[in-house]
Amino acid sequence: MIPEQERRSDWVKTATRVATPVLTAIAEQRLRKAMPVESTPGHLEGRQKVTHLEAVGRLLAGISPWLALGEDRDLATMAQKAIQHGTDPASPDFFNFKDTGQPLVDASFLAHAILRAPGLLWKPLDLATKRNVIIGMKATRTTKPPFNNWLLFVAMVEAFLAMAGEEWDVARVDHGIRTHMEWYKGDSAYGDGPKFHFDYYNSYVIQPMLLDVLAECSKHRDDWKDVQPVVLARAKRFAVVQERLIAPDGSFPAVGRSLAYRCGAFQHLAQMALQKLLPDELPPAQARAALSAVIERTLAAPDTFDAAGWLRIGLCGHQPSLGEHYISTGSLYLCATAFLPLGLSESDPFWTSPSVPFTAQKAWGGVDLPADHSLGD
């Protein structure tokens, strides 16, 4: 077992390994030249149009709270340059914000990154860059979202615009929130649309975005006072469920779509730790142990990275057949969201509390532990 004082440095090392190729390339305005684009056969041309915004938006959505601490000033500066160059129409790395519909998804992840670290990724930006970001975000409004979790991508873009002091569409936010409330299936799980899908989209998108859209938009209007405590109660229960899904060796059920996002399947647990919203029965040290195990299991496997350090499609190593038609190299950087607790300082109890086994280790180690109960029991 890695000592507490070494565990955080281990996370930092892995997060840096994931981030460096992306941020170095776009800071030097050579992301399109340098980044390989792996995809499923027949979809390469379409994915090449969107994969660069995917890589940057998803990466920053995970590591922006850590970079905001100022511990790695080089990466933090590169992150600011990524937004500057990616939103500048004159840059060779200018992001596609509206062609094909997919940019709505990753503009929302970029918006989420900014909301998570406005002191780094928004306030210091020059006025021209801020205007370019706003133009890019508004360009996504031309995309009609399907009737599923994409409604929250729409809401997240509007939440960003609200934070930025721009006019924002309250109805678009309300539609995403209220519709997901209607899709609630019980015991902390929302449907991804009217039907339930057995996958990790409650963590990839739904619960983290519900929490943060509500947090931002409720600063500007009182429309969702009735919703917030309900969403939070469900989020706490879902954090418990997520922690219990992680097996003693850091693996987890390989079920559902988008398994190539690897440890990004536990974004929700990571966010609840970052925001200090973990329920009493799930102490920070236990969440840390579970997340550490799943990060190592999914990112330390051989062939996870190519020779130049870029992520490759797979859950545990290189498994290209796990890539759905919408998966490409940029998509894979959603794994960075597992690193959200790096936004907690090294003196935070999440890092300093003595190591404890997580639930699966206790259960399969013969430890007597309390029974689990569904939300409302």
- pLDDT digits over 140-193, tens only? 999 999 999 999 999 999 999 999 999 999 999 999 999 999 999 999 999 999
| pLDDT at residue 100, rounded to an integer | 87
Residues in the chain: 377
pLDDT for res 376 = 80
105 vs 328: CA distance, rounded Å:
14
Kindly report, residue by residue over 227-279, the tens digit of the pLDDT. Answer: 999 999 999 999 999 999 999 999 999 999 999 999 999 999 999 999 999 99
- 192 domain-assigned: yes
- What Å distances lie between residue 371 and 219, 244, 368, CA to CA? 38, 12, 9
**Has residue 294 been placed in a domain?**
yes
pTM: 0.97
Tokens read off for 116: 């998570």
Instruction: Determine the Cα–Cα distance for residues 158 and 164; give it in Å rounded to an integer.
Output: 10
| CA distance to 25, 39, 217, 309, per residue, from 22 (Å) | 5, 17, 31, 9
The answer to whether residue 64 is domain-embedded is: yes
Pairwise CA distance, residues 344 & 242, whole Å: 20
What total number of domains does the chain contain? Answer: 1
Ranges in the chain, pLDDT < 50:
1
Domain enclosing residue 138, as ranges:
4-363
Residue 133 maps to which CATH number? 1.50.10
Whether 374 is covered by a domain: the verdict is no
Other beta carbons within 10 angstroms of residue 357's beta carbon come to: 18
Residue 370 lies in a domain: no
CA–CA distance, 95 with 255 (Å, rounded to integer): 32
CA–centroid distance for 244 within its chain: 20
Tell me, what's the pLDDT at 377? Answer: 54
Q: Is residue 372 part of a domain?
A: no
pLDDT attached to residue 5:
55
In angstroms, the CA 61 to CA 278 distance is 20
Q: What angle do CA 51, 238, 260 make, to 5 degrees?
A: 25
375 within domain boundaries: no
Question: Which single residue is written with the structure tokens 């797979």?
Answer: 314
